[in-house]
């Protein structure tokens, strides 16, 4: 298993080491390559080196898997993985074809993307999640607000038993799939979110603030990595690498 404390900056330092000293024998890769600034590197070897910069000791390659485990870890940190094993186009599987038909429902950002998705969006109530409120409204539920004695506002689905509506919202959200990407900072995630909303036009987002045009090239690269990252369901997200980032909810049907 790849340690969760390995961060983007450790991976970049590993790449810089390979640029200086090259790739040892038997550590090259023939199937997948990590692409960074126009150069290519063996993904599994880069992960092994990155651990050295995280805690001072290189990670034994026998302790984690190549392929899907390594590639997904690197994609989540915003790195591009290239499959170089095929010289001709492969057929799209039926499952991939079905996923292509899914709609972009919602885009958000968080300082902890996995916690935000699993704890606030996939459970809880509409007061703790803008997505849950948008889904409830799209399903036709009325929303009621009331002032608490503390001065805060209590927001609930307007039903004799609001829990019934919340369960309906939860079932819809949990049956979707998520793509996400880790950014360099909370500020970058917040600003990149507006670029993603501007480009993808998700069904339920109601606002789109201006984004920093000076970061266009960076945001174009991040969006490409985000849309090409693996689509994960609620259960698959458990234990995945988290941090400040942007996420997208996909679904095969409207709320």
Domain ranges of the chain: 8-83, 95-251
For residue 13, the model assigns a pLDDT of 95
Q: What pLDDT sits at residue 21?
A: 84
What pLDDT score does 201 carry? 93
pLDDT in the model for residue 85: 63
Place of tokens 């360099």: 184
Residues (pLDDT < 50) of the chain are 86-100
pTM: 0.71
**Is residue 81 a contact partner of residue 75, using CB atoms and an 8 Å limit?**
yes
Phi, psi of 107 (to 5 degrees): -125, 135
Angle between helices 216-227 and 186-200 (to 10 degrees): 70
Q: Which 3-state string (H, E, C) describes the chain?
A: CCCCCCCHHHHHHHHHHHHHHCCCCCCCCCCEEEEECCEEECHHHHHHHHHHHHHCCCCCHHHCCCCHHHHHHHHHCCCEEEECCCCCCCCCCHHHHHHHCCEEEEEEEECCHHHHHHHHHCCCCHHHCHHHHHHHHHCCCCEEEEECCCCCEEEEECCCCHHHHHHHHHHHHHCCEEEEEECCCHHHHHHHHHHHHHHHCCCCCCCCCCCCHHHHHHHHHHHHHHHCCCCECHHHHCCCCCCCEEEEEEECCCC
pLDDT at 48 (0 to 100): 95
């Amino acid at each position: 298993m790849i340690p969760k404390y390995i961060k983007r900056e450790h991976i970049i330092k590993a790449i810089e080491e390979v640029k200086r000293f090259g790739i040892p024998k038997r550590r090259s890769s023939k199937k997948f390559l990590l692409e960074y600034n126009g150069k290519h590197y063996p993904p599994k070897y880069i992960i092994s080196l990155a651990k050295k910069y995280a805690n001072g000791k290189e990670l034994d390659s026998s302790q984690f898997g190549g392929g899907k485990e390594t590639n997904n870890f690197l994609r989540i940190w915003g790195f591009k993985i290239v499959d170089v094993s095929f010289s001709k186009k492969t057929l799209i599987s039926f499952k991939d074809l079905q996923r292509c038909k899914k709609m972009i429902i919602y885009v958000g950002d968080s300082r902890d993307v996995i916690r935000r998705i699993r704890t606030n969006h996939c459970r809880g109530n509409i007061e703790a999640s803008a997505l849950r409120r948008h889904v409830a409204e799209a399903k036709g539920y009325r929303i009621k607000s009331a002032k608490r004695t503390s001065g805060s506002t209590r927001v609930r689905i307007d039903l004799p038993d609001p829990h019934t509506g919340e369960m309906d919202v939860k079932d819809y959200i949990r049956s979707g799939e998520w793509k996400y990407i880790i950014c360099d900072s909370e500020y970058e995630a917040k600003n990149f979110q507006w670029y993603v909303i501007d480009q993808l036009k998700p069904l339920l987002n109601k606002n789109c603030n201006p984004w920093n045009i000076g970061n266009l090239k960076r945001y174009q690269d991040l969006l490409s990595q985000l849309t090409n990252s693996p689509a994960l369901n609620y259960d698959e997200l458990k234990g995945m690498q988290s941090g400040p980032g942007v996420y997208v909810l996909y679904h095969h049907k409207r709320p």
